[in-house]
Structure formats: structure tokens, C-alpha cells
Chains A and B, each alone.
Chain A
Amino acid sequence: MKDEDIFDILDGIASEEIILQHKQQLLKNPDYQALFKEYTETHALLTDVSMEKTAFNFTDKLMDRWEFSQEVVAVRKTSKLPVYFLSIMAILFVLLFIAILPILNNQASQVDISKPLRILQDKLFTRLFLLINILVALFFIDKRILKPYFQRRMGV
């Protein structure tokens, strides 16, 4: 008899023929008796094994984790910072082009870029430009690093 047949007997799915063979073996073969006993005992132990219970707060902990992961996804999905940045850059480019166009028309042969250069070299413009950059950088650091860090720390 094969091991598979013995387990079929234990599982109650063996054919009549196998059951008959098994009964005959049980009567005359001591080795088979020992093997069948060994498998029967293991089978009985496994059958007695019941469902394990989770900790009482399993579902609450899971729901907290799930809600937190959802919030992170939501923040990521609603972040339109790159879109805003590109839109502003596009508008500035168009405005600059419109501002330069009359100059180009008047001096078709020779382009005078001293005027725009003078604006760029202006101290007030430089300070304003720096200030805007710092504000954008701070906003970015707050949204991407500080806010998620404190949310995680406070367990929100």
C-alpha cells in the first residue's frame, strides 16, 4: 500500500478496493500496522488543531494602518506643485516673449538686450527673486518632509 492510499483512508476518500487491501494488511502485516498507527496519530493531532485567535485589537490596529496609508496616498495624489510651477514658468515665458517682441521689431538687425539685463541686475529684483525662491523651498520642505514626519510621530 502506498502512503497516499493510507492518507486517503484517513481522509475518508479511499475506494472500496483500497479499504479491502488495508483491512487485509492490518490483519497480517505488523509493519503496516505500525505505519498506519503512526499516520493515524499524526492525523488525529492535526484534526484537533483549531483556528488561532488574533489579538482583541487586531481590527482596530488594522483600520488605523489602513486609514494612515490612505491619507499618504491622498496627499501624493493631490500634490499639484509641479503643475503649478510649470504653469507659472509658461506664463512668465509668454510674458517675456511679448515684452521682447516690440524691441525685436524695432531693431530687427541688432538686438539690444541691455534693457532686460539691467532689470535682472537690479538689486530689488534680485532680492525679490531670492525671497520667492526661499518661500517656495520652505513650502516644499514643510509639505514633503516636516508634515509627514510629525503626522507619523503623532500617529495620525
Chain B
Amino acid sequence: MKTKETDHSIIERILAGDKSGYKDLANRHKDYAFTVAYKIAGTREDAEEIAQDAFIQAFQALPTFNQEAKFTTWFYRIVFNTALMFKRKNRVQTDDIETSQSAQFVSANTDNELKIKEQRFYIQQALNHLPPDDVTIITLFYLKEQSLEEIAQIVGISAETAKVKLCRGRKKLAEIMIRILGKEVKTLIQ
């Protein structure tokens, strides 16, 4: 069954000439790639462009991919680097993000939906104040699909440095959240 297929067997199919493998690979990793890109870029439009560019780069480099390595670590490194390049090229205006995202609250139907949207909004706002590598480390860590060693490989640093950066990033994030929301942080998580 295709759903139980590993990344490596999909890659083998692609290298053997099966073009449907590209679609399978994209469907499998698109949300994760998009989430990482979104946390770094701050807007859905930019995140989609970054994720698409990352997939194209990965597809082109598939013949050179080391089959003994973990595909996701290799691929998320491409996503991280693409997002980094994108950020350097297009300096994102934080004010624009705040305006466009605050409009999302209007479309929330229930209190719970509103709370989730609020949470996402403020977390994203706080993340926008952190450097891209800290954002990536925190995002990957809380998505819980990669070990700290793999996260370190993705960002291109040692595991020890990744742990220190994760700690500092979360500390800074806590400070920013307090600065943005004051004592409302507690009400946001209740």
C-alpha cells in the first residue's frame, strides 16, 4: 500500500522513472514544509512560495540524495535554507502581517476557534521577533517529529548549540509574549 511506503521507496520509484512519486512525496511532506516556512516567513503567501521552491530544489537534487540519510532531515534543511534566502531577499513588514492576520479573528465562528486563532496570532507575532534559526528550532521541536540531533543537522549546527539556542529562544519568546500581552498570556491558555 502506498500509505505505508517509506520515503526511500518513493525516491527509488522516482529514480526508476515513476513520475507519480513526486506527487506522493509532496503530499506526504507539504504540511510540515509549509508550517516551517510559515513560522519563518510570517505570511501564508510567502510560506507557500517558499515550500514550493523547496520542493522544486529537492526534486532536482533527488539523484544526489544519499539514500542512507533520513529524507526529512535533508529536505527540511532545504526548506530552512530556502526560507532564509527568501527572508534575506524580501524583508517582511511586521505591520502588514499584523494587519492581515488580525482580520482572521472576524471569521472565527466559536469561542474555541477564536481562542485558537488568537493563540496562533500571538505566537506568530512573537516568533517574528526571533531570528530564523531560532524560529526553526522551536517550530521543529514542538512539532515533535524530529530529534534535537536532527533539528541541529537541519539548521547546520551542533546538537549542544541547538539545545542552548532552543532554551534561549523559548526564554526570549516568553519575554516577548509578556511584553505583547502582559498578564493576558494566562487567559490565552486557559
Contacts and interface: CB of A to CB of B under 8 A. Distances in A.
27 contacts: A3-B167, A4-B163, A4-B167, A7-B167, A38-B174, A38-B178, A41-B186, A41-B188, A45-B189, A46-B123, A48-B189, A49-B139, A51-B32, A51-B143, A52-B31, A52-B34, A52-B38, A52-B47, A53-B34, A54-B34, A54-B51, A59-B23, A59-B30, A62-B26, A62-B52, A65-B52, A66-B59
B120 interface: yes
A49 B120 CA distance: 7
A29 interface: no
Contact of B27 (A41, A44, A48, A59): A59
Given A46-B138, A63-B23, 20 more contacts: A7-B170, A39-B171, A42-B185, A45-B119, A45-B189, A46-B123, A48-B189, A51-B31, A52-B34, A52-B38, A52-B44, A54-B51, A55-B48, A58-B51, A59-B23, A62-B30, A63-B22, A66-B22, A66-B55, A69-B56
Interface string A24-58: 00000000000000110111111111011111001
Interface in B150-172: 163-164, 166-168, 170-171
Given A3-B167, A48-B119, A51-B31, A42 B55 contact: no
Interface residues of A, number: 27
Nearest to A7: B167
A61 interface: yes
Interface residues of B, number: 43
A7 B169 CA distance: 11
Interface string B118-141: 011011000000000000001100
A45 B187 CA distance: 11
B119 A59 contact: no
Interface of B: 22-23, 26-27, 30-32, 34-35, 38, 44, 47-48, 51-52, 55-56, 59-60, 116, 119-120, 122-123, 138-139, 142-143, 163-164, 166-168, 170-171, 173-174, 177-178, 185-186, 188-189
B7 to A, nearest CB: 16
B6 to A, nearest CB: 20
Interface in A64-89: 65-66, 69
A61 to B, nearest CB: 7
B138 to A, nearest CB: 7
Nearest to A38: B174
A66 B27 CA distance: 14
Contacts of A54: 30-31, 34, 48, 51
B158 to A, nearest CB: 16
A38 B183 CA distance: 10
Contacts of A4: 163-164, 167
B125 to A, nearest CB: 12
Contacts of B170: 7, 39, 42-43, 46
